[in-house]
Amino acid sequence: MKTVRVLCCAAALVLSAANAAAQILIGQSADMSGPVAASVRETIAGSQLVIDHVNAQGGIHGEKVEVIRLDDGLDPKRSAENSRILIEDKKVIALLLNRGTPNALAVIPLLDKSGTPLIGPSTGAMSLHKPVQKLVFNVRSTYQREAEKAVLHLHTVSMQRIAVVQADDSFGKDAMEGAMKGFDKAGLKPVALALADRNKPDYATIVPKLTAANAQAVLWIGSGTAVTEGIKALRAAGSAAQVITLSNNAASGFIKELGSASGGVVVMQVLPSERAMAHPLIKEASDLAKAKGDIELSPALLEGFVATKVLVEALRRAGPKPTRAKLLAVLNDFRYDAGGGLEVGYSPQDHTGIDYVDLSIISGGRFKR
C-alpha cells in the first residue's frame, strides 16, 4: 500500500510540474534598438498588460502565454531571420505585432511555408490587406486611409500649399497612394515631393525643397527619428509649416524625441484617444495600467493592447492545446468586439482590421484631439 501511495504521489508531482510548465509560445520580431524603438517599447508595454492579466487569471485553458521577443533593428533581413528562429526553432504558434512594412512583407514566405498566423502587424500597409495575405490578420486601419484623411484635413483648414516627404521604401510608396487620393479629392497637387532614405534621410537636400516651395503644410511619411530629426531641421531652417505624420509615430517617445519642436505637430491615430476614459477600451487599459504601476497610456500602447486582446480571444476559442492550424481556423471565422464597438472581423476573403482613423495635435507634450 505504501508503494502505491508513493507512486501516486510521484505521479501527482509529475502532473503538477507538467501543468506548471505548460505554456503557449508566441513570437515577436520588432525594432528594440533602432529608429522606432521608442514606440515599439510602448506597443510591447500595452501587449504585456494583456498577457500579464491573462496569466494572473491562470492563463488560457490552464496554460500560461509567453511572448518571445527578438530585436531586428527595423532591418527586414533580420526580421526574416528572427521569424525563422521563432517559427522553426522556438516552435511558436503565432507571430504578433511585427513592426514595419518591409519587415512584415519579408516574413510572409515563412508564414506561408509553416502555416503560422501573424496577428496585428504594426503597420497599415495595403499590401497586407489586398490581395488578402492568408496568414496575416490585420487589426489596425491602413496607411492609405490615414494619408488620404491627412491631406483632406489640411485642405479643410485652408492649407493649399502642401508638400510631402516620402520614405523611399514600400511603406512610403503605399502611404503615398493614399495621399494622392486625398490630393485628387481636394483638387490639389503637392507643391514639393522629397524622397527620403528610410533610416538616414538627407535633410540638407530635403529641407531646402520644402522651404523653396513655401509649403504651408508638410505631410511627412516616415518613421521615428527619421521624422523627428527632419522636423527639427525644418524648424531650424525657419519654416513654420504645419507638419502632419502617420500613426506609426503616435507614441509618447516620438513627442519626447521632438522636444521643443513638438508644438502643433499633427499625428494620425487608429484608435480612440487614450484620454477618453468613458470609452470601455480605454478604461480597461487604464485600469490594468494603474494596477501595474506608473504606466502611461499612449496610442502605441493601445495598439499593442488591442492586437493582443484579439490574439488572446482567438486562443481561447481555439480550445486546449492550441496549434497553428486550430488558431488559423478560428481566425478565418472570427467576430470580436475589442471594446466599445471596435469590431474586428475576419473571413478567408477579408483580413481587414478595425475601421477607425482620427487625428490629434501635439500640444504641451501630449496628444490632444
Residue 325 main-chain phi, psi, to 5 deg: -65, -40
**Confidence at 10, pLDDT banded by 50, 70, 90:** very low
Angle at 116 between CA 138 and CA 331, to 5 degrees: 50
Average model confidence (pLDDT) across the chain: 92
- What is the rounded average pLDDT of the residues 262-271? 92
CA pair distance 131, 27, nearest whole angstrom: 24
Name the amino acid, one letter, at 99.
R
Residue 62 in 3-state DSSP? coil
Could you read off the pLDDT of 139-190 as tens digits, one per residue? 999 999 999 999 999 999 999 999 999 999 999 999 999 999 999 999 999 9
Predicted confidence (pLDDT) at residue 15 exceeds the cutoff of 80: no
pLDDT band at 21 (very low <50, low <70, confident <90, very high): very low
DSSP-derived 3-state class of residue 334 = strand
CB atoms within 10 A of CB 22: 14
Q: Which residues pair with 266 in a beta bridge?
A: 244, 361
H or E stretch covering 27 = strand 23-30
Task: Read off the C-alpha cell for 291.
Answer: 494596477
pLDDT, tens only, 45-58 = 999 999 999 999 99
Sheet holding 217-221, edge to edge: 192-196, 162-167, 217-221, 242-245, 266-269, 358-363, 366-368
**109, 118, 152, 168, 357 from 267: Cα distances, Å:** 32, 26, 14, 20, 11
12 pLDDT higher than 50: no
Distance CA 171, CA 116 (A): 23
Separation between Cα atoms, residue 87 and residue 90, nearest integer Å: 6
Q: How far is CA 324 from the centre of its chain?
A: 22
Q: How confident is the model at residue 61 (pLDDT cuts 50, 70, 90)?
A: very high
pLDDT tens digits for range 117-141:
999 999 999 999 999 999 999 999 9
What count of other Cβ atoms lies within 10 Å of the Cβ of residue 43?
A: 27
Q: What is the pLDDT of residues 219-240, one digit of tens each?
A: 999 999 999 999 999 999 999 9
Q: Which of 100-104, 247-251, 254-258, 311-315 has the highest mean pLDDT?
A: 311-315
pLDDT above 70 (res 114)? yes
